[in-house]
Amino acid sequence: MLKLKQVHIDTHRENVAFLHLNCTAYRADELQAIQKIEVACGPRKILATVNLVGNGQIVAPGEIGLSEQAFHLLGLKDGTEVEIAPAAPPHSLQWVRAKIQGETLSGKAFKEIIADVAAHRYSKMELAAFLVSCAGFMTADEVLSLTRAMAGEGTRLSWSEPLVVDKHCIGGIPGNRTTMVVVPIVAAYGLPIPKTSSRSITSPAGTADTMEVLANVNLGISQMQELVLKERGCLAWGGHMNLAPADDVMISVERPLNIDTPEQMVASILSKKISAGSTHLVIDIPVGPAAKVTSRPDAVRLRKLFEYVGGKLGLVMEVIITDGSQPIGNGIGPVLEARDVMKVLRREPDAPLDLREKSLMLAGMVLDFDPALPGKAGYARAKEILDSGQALASMEAIIDAQGRNLNPPRLGEMSFEVSATRTGVVQTIDCYAISQLAQTAGAPQSPGAGVDLFKKVGDAVKKGEPLYRVYSVFKSDFAFAKEMAKRGSGYVIG
């Protein structure tokens, strides 16, 4: 029996237990051999990696310290008596070992792995082993099993509606904020679209980051359900919803390792949609030299995988392959992207046409799911809703319902322009380079940081004419961005 103690150390989603070298529960030589323990008090139990402490300041010999996350996960009070026991690694690791050895895993194996992952029983090392072994190869049926297992953990929303729609872009294209135009159009039309988005993982802004410029995005499950009942749509951050929680755990390893395989992508996206109770889904796969998918054959393979897994799970899907050769809209970074979205919704004359057109196309595809709408009338209906101002009204209502941001972040006060080094026509814009530049400038941590494009592919440009302007909030970011911009503009002018 040891006394529980909260240790105020944030160990990045990994449960860590701090035990004194002279811990009263185990002999020193036993302790050295123990890597993981189970900490329990009655039915409440967690697994944690052991860190041995030779210092009474952190824990006394009769105490067990838990890192922030582990302490909250266990949910007991400081000073509670808990029992500890050496923990065997999770039973499901046997399947990970089999996968490493090249075996194909059963549905049961994925179910057990994902249950352990969602319960934070895997260390980051074990997560990496699972994810990398899956990155080696996965059959379509394995992706199906993985998706089903991920959707099986956490919250599962149900709506008493025949159609619950959603749209999702696999990402990778800077400025591609179509979601924030599509949702108000669809909501104004009347189909329920309970959209949850992520924050940026490796980009200058996620939809949640951009929406946060305008409104609160931290909605709980019941708040979201109420909102969709009333406004037919929402633009919330998925982080508080506990939808397919294993995905969030895995992202904490996928992100630093840059693992972004088609298989993980399909499982991640579709499990969230199933958990959110969606029935009909439009998926956008942008293809371009610096996009996530770089060739049409790859895009077609990915589409087929989406269709196979989604179909087996009962989702009605429309997967569209779009042009991902350059950024969409002009602004890149939360404040700039929110500006573009609102310009489109407000039908301002300088609203980016590409963002408008792509949003209308996607919204049209979503509306076409409605059996009540005559064949392929979706696009025209979406245009009507946007041009009549109904979409704007819907967006304003959603913003108010979520909680308008009364103190919206402003564009960064430091800025510099990058200009053309020759006269000609813009041939290509390197999405990856522009995205890196926006991040170096401070996006999304500083919502007011980013890049505002003045020229797109096909535009004529004169030598010395500005191609884009970079904004920063902090001096250090500004200096780094300026340095980076010197290495090349990301534009090819021919």
The answer to whether residue 13 forms part of the interface with a second copy (CB under 8 A) is: no
Rounded distance between C-alpha atoms, residue 493 and residue 420, angstroms: 8
Q: Could you say which of 22, 62, 83, 89 contacts a second copy (CB under 8 A)?
A: 89
Q: Could you say which of 77, 97, 108, 463 contacts a second copy (CB under 8 A)?
A: 97
Torsional sign, CA 169, 171, 175, 180: positive
Residues 78, 116, 247, 260: which is the catalytic one?
Answer: 260
* The two three-digit tokens of residue 162, written as one number: 């025949």
Rounded distance between C-alpha atoms, residue 455 and residue 453, angstroms: 6
CB of 474 to a second copy, least distance (A): 8
The answer to whether residue 104 forms part of the interface with a second copy (CB under 8 A) is: no
CB of 454 to a second copy, least distance (A): 29
The answer to whether residue 415 forms part of the interface with a second copy (CB under 8 A) is: no
Q: Could you say which of 119, 132, 300, 321 contacts a second copy (CB under 8 A)?
A: 132
Q: Could you say which of 24, 35, 155, 427 contacts a second copy (CB under 8 A)?
A: 35
String marking each residue 444-463 x if it binds a second copy according to CB under 8 A? -x------------------
**Nearest CB to a second copy, comparing residues 137 and 387:** 137
Rounded distance between C-alpha atoms, residue 181 and residue 395, angstroms: 8
- Contacts of residue 429, Cβ cutoff 8 Å, sequence gap at least 6: 325, 326, 327, 453, 456, 457, 490, 491, 492
The answer to whether residue 33 forms part of the interface with a second copy (CB under 8 A) is: yes
The answer to whether residue 220 forms part of the interface with a second copy (CB under 8 A) is: no
The answer to whether residue 142 forms part of the interface with a second copy (CB under 8 A) is: no
The answer to whether residue 53 forms part of the interface with a second copy (CB under 8 A) is: yes
Q: Could you say which of 42, 43, 54, 349 contacts a second copy (CB under 8 A)?
A: 54
Angle at 316 between CA 312 and CA 320, to 5 degrees: 110
- Contacts of residue 388, Cβ cutoff 8 Å, sequence gap at least 6: none
CB of 75 to a second copy, least distance (A): 19
Strand order in the sheet with 316-323: 165-169, 280-287, 316-323
Q: Could you say which of 1, 85, 125, 353 contacts a second copy (CB under 8 A)?
A: 125
Q: What is the DSSP string of 299-319?
A: HHHHHHHHHHHHHHTT-EEEE
Q: Could you say which of 37, 46, 129, 449 contacts a second copy (CB under 8 A)?
A: 129
Q: Catalytic annotation on 260?
A: yes
The answer to whether residue 410 forms part of the interface with a second copy (CB under 8 A) is: no
String marking each residue 236-255 x if it binds a second copy according to CB under 8 A? -----------------x--
Q: Could you say which of 51, 294, 405, 415 contacts a second copy (CB under 8 A)?
A: 51
Radius of gyration of the chain (CA): 25
Q: Please identify, among the stretches 11-19, 165-173, 352-360, 372-380, the one whose residues bind a second copy according to the rule CB under 8 A.
A: 11-19
The answer to whether residue 423 forms part of the interface with a second copy (CB under 8 A) is: no
Long-range pairs of 293-297 with CB within 8 A, sequence gap ≥ 24: 293/170, 293/172, 293/324, 296/321
- CB of 15 closer than 8 Å to CB of 73: yes
String marking each residue 255-284 x if it binds a second copy according to CB under 8 A? -xxxx-------------------------
The answer to whether residue 124 forms part of the interface with a second copy (CB under 8 A) is: yes
Size of the site for a second copy (CB under 8 A): 49
- CB of 433 closer than 8 Å to CB of 490: yes
292 class by beta-carbon count within 10 Å (0-12 exposed, 13-18 middle, 19+ buried):
buried
**Nearest CB to a second copy, comparing residues 67 and 223:** 67
**Nearest CB to a second copy, comparing residues 35 and 423:** 35
CB of 55 to a second copy, least distance (A): 4
**Nearest CB to a second copy, comparing residues 222 and 258:** 258
The answer to whether residue 409 forms part of the interface with a second copy (CB under 8 A) is: no
What sections of 168-236 are H helices per DSSP?
A: 179-189, 207-214, 221-231
CB count in 10 Å sphere of residue 33: 10
- CB of 118 closer than 8 Å to CB of 153: yes
φ and ψ at residue 340, rounded to 5 degrees: -60, -45
The answer to whether residue 98 forms part of the interface with a second copy (CB under 8 A) is: no
Q: Could you say which of 40, 128, 221, 321 contacts a second copy (CB under 8 A)?
A: 128
The CA–CA distances, whole Å, from 487 to 61, 478, 491 equal 56, 15, 12
CB of 99 to a second copy, least distance (A): 9
The CA–CA distances, whole Å, from 355 to 83, 154, 175, 223 equal 57, 34, 9, 29
**Nearest CB to a second copy, comparing residues 152 and 172:** 172
What residues act catalytically? 260
Q: Residues interacting with a second copy, by CB under 8 A?
A: 7-12, 18, 27, 29-30, 33, 35, 49, 51-55, 57-58, 67-68, 89, 93, 96-97, 100-102, 123-129, 131-133, 135-137, 253, 256-259, 445, 474
